[in-house]
């Protein structure tokens, strides 16, 4: 799954999870859920990670109930960088080069 598809999948999951929770606990009415869904659909598709970031930030600015979407998109790049470092460290460790792995971690 490419980055855009992964972001789209997770953002949709978090959005729908929030709708379900709100409908169950009564904090979101059916009419409001429809309004949120239409607003959310209007920001898709995402054409790039930057596009997703901008659209999610704009959506959350108008719908503060969905800050979890902003939190996710904000942490996405950070986590991607960490995963890249872990992969590099793994390669160094497989080659029994602990010092190089530690240098990657420190960078």
Does 27 have pLDDT greater than 70?
Answer: yes
Task: Give the closest residue to 68 by CA, choosing from 40, 93, 34.
Answer: 40
pTM of the model: 0.75
Does 1 have pLDDT greater than 70?
Answer: no
Q: Where are the domains of the chain?
A: 3-106
Question: In which element (H, E) is residue 103 found?
Answer: helix 98-106
pLDDT tens track for 55-70: 999 999 999 999 999 9
CA dist 11 and 59 (Å) reads 12
Locate tokens 């596009």: which residue? 51
Percent of the chain with pLDDT over 70: 99
For the CA atoms of 21, 71, 40, 49, what is the dihedral angle to 10 degrees? -140
Q: Are 40 and 52 in contact (CB under 8 A)?
A: no
**Which pLDDT belongs to residue 38?**
97
CA dist 95 and 26 (Å) reads 56
């Amino acid at each position: 799954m490419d980055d855009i598809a992964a972001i789209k999948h997770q953002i949709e999951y978090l959005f729908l999870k929030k709708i379900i929770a709100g409908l169950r606990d009564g904090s979101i009415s059916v009419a409001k859920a429809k309004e949120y869904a239409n607003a959310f659909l209007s920001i898709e598709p995402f054409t790039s990670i930057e596009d997703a970031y901008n659209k999610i930030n704009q959506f959350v600015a108008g719908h503060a109930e969905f800050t979890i979407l902003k939190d996710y998109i904000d942490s996405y790049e950070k986590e991607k960088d960490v995963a890249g470092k872990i992969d590099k460290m793994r390669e160094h460790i497989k080659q029994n080069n602990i010092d190089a792995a530690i240098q990657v971690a420190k960078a």
